[in-house]
């Protein structure tokens, strides 16, 4: 056996337009190449402080316990759940896609008595539905996904939050795909715990999970009768590292922190409102182009995410074959359908740095070629023209 004979890394150039990861901003890659220092180095602690404040600004919160968990977005989900939930606690989870299902699974594993309220995939929940479910279950925690990555559905949070806070329940929100792409208003909506990931609209590689806990949530956590089941994700312990004491907990991923720090700087250099408007404009252009090809959206009308576009695959078109050809011939990655949408939808991401007019026009022209080869009927060039009309109207 020959040892140490692995070839050098040479990853292909891809345009990442799937459900994540998204294209990484060049400034972020450059920041991550900076020299590694110790996780308790005074300079690194300053970087943590500044990053923490930028995360507060992005979450629109003053929550003192706002930090980046040293793991991916799924660990952010796990961190919020296992800290809030003790064995036997009643938890209500809203399920209208894969990630609502995952939240329910995590809560069950934490010992919660989980009740699911369900909507068809692609649909969103109403305040009335939530009120009835909360009255019936009387939960300690209500969990809901703001941007359901599996369906492209945009769940309004403000009215749901009002219903939840008519009781003593805590509101837990999944913002993995939302953060950095659409407004997230933690304090205005009185969200008690929220989590996100770096690899979607933050234009950063996967590896950190921004989270934030309200003072009300912290009070519940610090009054637990049982230890948090995860040592690594225990907010009691993490608070001592992210707080003023800086007590050693784990070796933080220093260069990933550099990346998230720079990703947040990129967003604030552009301006939050401009960032949100860019995502909406590119979504509108993509939608116009897809409609010209006879392709419609899977998510409920009026509740479609601008950064994650779940669209119906046209009849007679090869799902896997088209996605493979996009990747192999054009270097474009899009996502397949999951769960109830498997084989029925494509998931097209316009997240963060990937949300650019050049990507929209490139994808539409490539898709036209592949659809034409499969005999799908449409007016050639119509999708690019429709998208360009959207851009021209807003120039």
* pLDDT tens digits along 182-231: 999 999 999 999 999 999 999 999 999 999 999 999 999 999 999 999 99
pLDDT of 1 above 60: no
pLDDT the model gives residue 171:
98
- Kindly tell me the burial class for residue 358, based on how many C-beta atoms sit within 10 Å of its own C-beta (0-12, 13-18, 19 or more): exposed
Mean pLDDT over each residue of the chain, to the nearest integer: 96
Architecture of domain 272-393: Alpha-Beta Complex (3.90)
In the chain, CATH 3.90.1150.10 covers 272-393
Give the residue among 284, 266, 364, 366 at the shortest CA–CA distance from 325: 366
Strand partners, 171: 142
In the chain, CATH 3.40.640.10 covers 26-268
CA atoms within 13 A on the CB side of 278: 20
Assign 3 a pLDDT band (cuts: 50, 70, 90): confident
User: Can you name the CATH fold of 26-268?
Assistant: 3.40.640
Tokens of 319: 């799902």
Give the residue among 297, 207, 256 at the shortest CA–CA distance from 21: 207
């Amino acid at each position: 056996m020959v040892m140490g004979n692995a070839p050098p890394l040479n990853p292909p150039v891809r345009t990442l337009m799937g459900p994540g990861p998204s294209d990484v901003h060049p400034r972020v890659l450059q920041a991550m190449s900076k020299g590694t220092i110790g996780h308790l180095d005074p300079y690194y602690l300053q970087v943590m402080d500044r990053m923490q404040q930028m995360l507060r600004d992005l979450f629109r919160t003053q929550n003192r316990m706002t930090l980046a968990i040293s793991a991916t977005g799924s660990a952010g989900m796990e961190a919020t759940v296992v800290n809030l939930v003790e064995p036997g606690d009643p938890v209500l989870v809203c399920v209208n896609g894969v990630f609502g299902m995952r939240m329910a699974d995590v809560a069950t594993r934490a010992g919660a008595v989980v009740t699911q309220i369900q909507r068809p995939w692609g649909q969103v929940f109403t305040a009335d539905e939530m009120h009835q479910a909360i009255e019936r279950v009387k939960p300690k925690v209500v969990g809901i996904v703001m941007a359901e990555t599996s369906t492209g559905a945009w769940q309004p949070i403000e009215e749901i939050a009002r219903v939840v806070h008519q009781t003593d329940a805590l509101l837990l929100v999944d913002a993995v795909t939302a953060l950095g792409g659409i407004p997230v208003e933690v304090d205005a909506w009185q969200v008690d715990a929220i989590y996100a990931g770096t690899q979607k609209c933050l234009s950063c590689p996967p590896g950190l999970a921004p989270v934030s806990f309200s003072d009300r949530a912290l009070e519940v956590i610090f009054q637990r009768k049982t230890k948090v089941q995860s040592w690594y994700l225990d907010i009691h312990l993490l608070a001592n590292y992210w707080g003023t004491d800086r007590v050693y907990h784990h070796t933080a991923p220093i260069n990933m922190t550099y990346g998230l720090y720079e990703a947040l700087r990129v967003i604030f250099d552009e301006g939050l409102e401009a960032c949100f408007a860019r995502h909406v404009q590119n979504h509108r252009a993509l939608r116009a182009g897809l409609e010209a090809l006879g392709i419609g959206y899977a998510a409920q009308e009026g509740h479609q995410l601008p950064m994650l576009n779940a669209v119906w695959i046209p009849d007679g078109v090869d799902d896997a074959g088209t996605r493979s050809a996009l990747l192999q011939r054009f270097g474009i990655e899009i996502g397949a359908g999951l769960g109830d949408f498997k084989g029925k939808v494509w998931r097209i991401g316009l997240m963060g740095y990937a949300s650019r007019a050049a990507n929209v026009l490139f994808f539409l022209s490539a898709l036209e070629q592949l659809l034409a080869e499969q005999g799908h009927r449409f007016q050639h060039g119509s999708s690019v023209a429709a998208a360009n009309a959207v851009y021209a109207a807003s120039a």
